[in-house]
Amino acid sequence: MSRFDLFRTSEDHEELRAAVRDVVEAKVAPHAAAVDEEARYPQEAHDALVAADFHAPHVGEKYDGVGADALATCIVIEEVARACVSSSLIPAVNKLGSMPLVLGGSDELKERYLPPLARGEGFFSYGLSERDAGSDTASMKTRARPDGDDYVLSGQKSWITNAGVSEFYTVLAVTDPDAPRGKGISAFVVEKGDAGFTFGEKEKKLGIKGSPTRELLFDDVRIPGDRMIGEPGTGLQLALRTLDHTRVTIGAQAVGLAQGALDFAVGYVKERSQFGKHIADFQGIQFMLADMAMELEAARQMVYVAAAKSEREDADLSFFGAAAKCFASDVAMKVTTDAVQLLGGYGYTSDFPVERMMRDAKITQIYEGTNQVQRVVMARQLLTR
């Protein structure tokens, strides 16, 4: 491999991008506005992504998956997000929910849950945050009390993406309240049909309206002990390792979203005329577009580098995953806001997609750790070298 190949996606990656784009343009993009307006789950995208094996591309071939590498998975998410961010949460959250299993699950547990995910028979969600334990995950109050060979789960989780749609949930709970802070937390697989497990009402949100967000409610839910992921007390460390990998996918989502907004804005300014010429001919407009594209490409490169580090599990992944997510989501917010500005009054209406994109962009700065938390993560990595 030439040293220059390090900065170029492979032919396979670009063939994958083209294949995803074809599916998205035919089956996802036509429904994106209605999904947002009706705040409904993007079933059309769900069906299309499952049919094409793009719903959980990270699952290995050993478990009936396609075995896409981290960069390929990011490309899938990026391309879906260009048209519909709600739909891009299908592959993104399937990776988030199942990554603890991939990283720390027993062979038996992987054999039980990863093949159904790969076949599209059961999606995964991730239960970490609580009402009073958002960024401060170690202060969670959900308990899993040992009872014979089982655990009895009680408490709640908040802001859970695709809750109610997914069949499987990775849930973090305190198994040893007397352990040092963060050391008594364990991870479990909870199934949708487990007795005592229910969902709160759908949250009414600014954006990503097609992706249902609900509370998970646990009323003495009995979980067999063999559904624990990894060893007792290792759940929080596993959760944080998971986020190192999946923050990269949020960066990819942000890049796709920004690309969709830039593409639309470029097309608009080339057609819109004022003062006797296309507004694309005005230098002020050109400077805005140049800045949008420049920052977007910088974000894409950061995400792709972080994806490569995720695949290799490099020691500095924590820094690069946080940096990619933080920078790309800030860029997505800026690019989508500028796209609205470039459309003027039209940009502020739902007749055009950029206002939806701007609303959707905001969450990328918040979930999987706010961008303030990402900066804390990066600073800690710098100060402990």
Q: How far apart are CA 228 and CA 225, in angstroms?
A: 6
Helix (H) or strand (E) holding 158: strand 150-161
* 136-165 core/surface letters (b: 16 or more CB in 10 A; e: else): ebeebebebeeeeebbbbbbbbbbbbbbbb
Q: How far apart are CA 164 and CA 251, in angstroms?
A: 25
368 is catalytic: yes
Type of residue numbered 77: I
* 172-209 core/surface letters (b: 16 or more CB in 10 A; e: else): bbbbeeeeeebebbbbbbbebebeebbebebeebebbb
Q: Which residue, among 163, 366, 344, has the nearest Cα to 254 in the 3D structure?
A: 366
Q: How far apart are CA 22 and CA 15, in angstroms?
A: 11
What residues are annotated to the active site? 368
